[in-house]
Amino acid sequence: RLDVQHRMWILMVGGLYPLELEPVVERLMSTTQPRIIDIGCGSGMWAIEMAEKFPRAQVLGVDITPPKHDLQMSLSLTRAFGSFKQHNLTEGLPDEYTSQFDVVHCRCVCQHVKEPQDLVNDIVRCVKPGGVVLIPEGSWVGFDEDREPLEPFIYNPSLSIEENIANTRKFSCYSGWLMRFGEASRSPKYQLPNVMLKNTGKVKGIVLRHCWAPTGWSGRGIPHGEEMSGITRLNMTVGCIEFHRRWLSLAY
């Protein structure tokens, strides 16, 4: 599933990072022994593809569990440098990472840890002066075809079944599911990445960019909308199954 999500992010962003950062990243990667870190690397695909794109760079993946792909092997196939470190991010990143990386990437992690701001502070600590920090995060809000927020349907036990069914015609079940899933998986202390980056007081040129992923249709003027629609539908189905399986295991 993480590989599928990686593909979705590539399509939404337009690459491994926003296109407008290409000149900056290229410049950083042209320095002597450039370094990249993927914090919470998951399956390792972003780190692997960055290593393939920039074979001179030293790439490090960090996560609490080893990636599905053998990151060490995949990176060594690309070039001599590359490694994976198993580490619990909630314990803080090692001191030796301070100001060591030209590009720091942390995708879909910050909102799921207990103290998101502490993690962002750590992320910023790792980047070299003049480097790039990338913190892509998902939103748990559904939008209509005009990109207006959909009113979520939430089951109300004080109403009859018939009344609840009638409400499904006025409100969005999909938006309601997203809202509940977000409440269950997101830290109550989470703020948007641009806000948390600003809170550090150490980052300049902060940009918040919105990306859109259609579900069930190809979107309106969205590049690769058809492919993204299939991915989001699959991701939602698998995610829902995994969520309920874990919830049931906790309940019983």
Which pLDDT band, with edges at 50, 70 and 90, does 247 fall under?
A: low
Calculate the alpha carbon distances from 208 to 13, 111, 136, 193 in Å.
Answer: 12, 16, 9, 8
pLDDT of 244 above 70: no
More confident residue, 194 or 77: 194
pLDDT tens, position by position, 134-172:
999 998 888 888 889 888 888 888 889 888 788 777 788
Q: CA 69, CA 73: separation in Å to the nearest integer?
A: 8
Query: Residue 102 has which token pair?
Result: 């030209």
Q: CA 63, CA 73: separation in Å to the nearest integer?
A: 16
Q: Which domains does the chain possess?
A: 2-140+187-211 (3.40.50.150), 142-185 (no CATH)
Which pLDDT band, with edges at 50, 70 and 90, does 242 fall under?
A: low
User: By CB neighbour count within 10 A (0-12 exposed, 13-18 middle, 19+ buried), where does 93 fall?
Assistant: buried
For residues 235 and 8, is the Cβ–Cβ distance under 8 A? yes
What is the percentage of the chain residues whose pLDDT exceeds 90?
50
Residue 158 exposure: Cα atoms within 13 Å on the Cβ side: 0
pLDDT computed for residue 248 by the predictor: 53
More confident residue, 4 or 122: 122
Calculate the alpha carbon distances from 100 to 84, 105, 112, 230 in Å.
Answer: 16, 13, 25, 39
pLDDT of 222 above 60: yes
Place of tokens 């491994």: 16
